C-alpha cells in the first residue's frame, strides 16, 4: 500500500543499505542494472522540499509557470479512456472523500497535493534516475527494482509511497541531487515508519478481479 503519513522517526543508514542491496537483485535486460538512487535525509531532504513546494505554490498563483516544468517522459497517457479514467477518478475521489475534500475545495486539494512534495513527512526521500541513453525496457527493469525496495521495506517494519508527482519538477531536483546531464528523473519515493493513527493511511485502493485482466488459452 502507499502510505501518505509518516512518523518523524529516523531510518538507520544500515537498514537503507540493506534495502538497496536486496533491490539490486531485481532482474534487468542483459543485466544492465540501469538504476541510480539518490537518498535524501536531513538538510538535503528539507531543502528540496522547500524548493519544490515554493515552485508548486508559484504555479498555483500563476498557472502560466507550469509550462516551465515538464516531465521528461509520459507517465500517463495523453488521452484518457475507459476503464482507466474511471479507475483514476475512483481512486482520486475515494482518497479526497475520505479526507473530506470536495470538488470545490481548491485550497485543501492544493495542500493535499503538496503533501507529495513533503514526502508525506517521511524522513527519507528517494530519487531514481536513468541514463537517457537507455531504452524504454529499462523502465520495466526499474519497476521491479522499486518493487523490491517496497516489499523489503515491509520486512523491516517500514512503509513507502512511490511518487510520480515529482517528475514535473526534474529541473529543480536533478541539480539539487547532483545528477549528471545524461540522467533523467524516473520518479521519487517516500520511505519511513507509517503513522498508523493517520486517517489517510486507512485508505485502500480497490482492485479488479483476475477474470477482468486475464485471458486463458488452452
Question: Are 156 and 22 in contact, with CB atoms under 8 Å apart?
Answer: no
Cα 70 from Cα 158, distance rounded (Å):
31
- Quick one: which H or E segment has residue 173? helix 170-177
| pLDDT of residue 104 exceeding 90 | no
Give the tens place of pLDDT for each residue, 123-151: 999 999 999 999 999 999 999 999 999 99
Strand partners, 183: 131
Burial (Cβ within 10 Å: 0-12, 13-18, ≥19) of residue 156: middle
Cα 31 from Cα 25, distance rounded (Å):
10
Burial (Cβ within 10 Å: 0-12, 13-18, ≥19) of residue 197: exposed
The CB density around residue 41, as the number of other CB atoms within 10 Å, is 16
From the CA atom positions of the chain, what is the Rg in Å?
Answer: 18
pTM: predicted TM-score of the whole model, two decimal places: 0.95
| pLDDT of residue 15 exceeding 90 | yes
Cα 126 from Cα 152, distance rounded (Å):
15
Q: What percent of the chain has pLDDT over 70?
A: 100
pLDDT at 92: 93
Give the tens place of pLDDT for each residue, 22-39: 999 999 999 999 999 999
Mean pLDDT for all residues in the chain: 97
DSSP string, 97-133: HHTT--TT-HHHHHHHHHGGGGGGG-SEEEEEEEETT
pLDDT at 77: 94
Q: Backbone phi, then psi, for 137, in 5-degree steps?
A: -60, -30
* Confidence class for position 61, pLDDT limits 50, 70, 90: very high
Give the tens place of pLDDT for each residue, 157-184: 999 999 999 999 999 999 999 999 999 9
Amino acid at each position: 500500500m502507499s502510505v501518505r503519513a509518516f512518523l518523524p522517526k529516523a531510518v538507520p543508514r544500515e537498514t537503507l543499505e540493506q534495502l538497496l542491496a536486496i533491490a539490486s537483485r531485481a532482474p534487468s535486460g542483459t543485466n544492465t542494472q540501469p538504476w541510480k538512487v539518490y537518498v535524501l535525509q536531513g538538510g538535503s531532504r528539507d531543502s528540496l522540499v522547500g524548493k519544490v513546494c515554493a515552485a508548486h505554490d508559484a504555479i498555483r498563483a500563476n498557472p502560466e509557470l507550469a509550462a516551465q516544468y515538464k516531465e521528461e517522459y509520459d507517465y500517463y497517457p495523453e488521452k484518457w479512456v475507459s476503464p482507466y479514467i474511471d479507475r483514476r477518478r475512483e481512486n482520486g475521489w475515494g482518497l479526497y472523500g475520505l479526507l473530506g475534500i470536495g470538488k470545490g475545495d481548491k485550497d485543501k486539494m492544493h495542500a493535499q497535493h503538496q503533501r507529495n512534495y513533503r514526502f508525506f513527512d517521511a524522513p527519507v526521500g528517494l530519487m531514481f534516475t536513468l541514463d537517457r541513453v537507455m531504452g524504454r525496457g529499462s523502465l520495466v527493469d526499474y519497476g521491479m527494482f522499486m518493487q523490491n525496495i517496497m516489499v523489503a521495506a515491509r520486512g523491516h517494519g517500514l512503509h513507502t509511497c512511490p511518487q510520480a508527482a515529482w517528475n514535473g519538477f526534474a529541473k529543480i531536483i536533478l541539480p539539487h541531487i547532483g545528477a549528471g546531464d545524461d540522467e533523467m528523473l524516473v520518479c521519487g519515493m517516500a520511505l519511513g515508519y507509517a503513522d498508523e493513527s493517520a486517517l489517510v493511511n486507512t485508505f485502500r485502493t480497490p482492485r479488479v478481479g483476475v477474470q477482468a485482466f486475464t485471458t486463458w488459452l488452452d
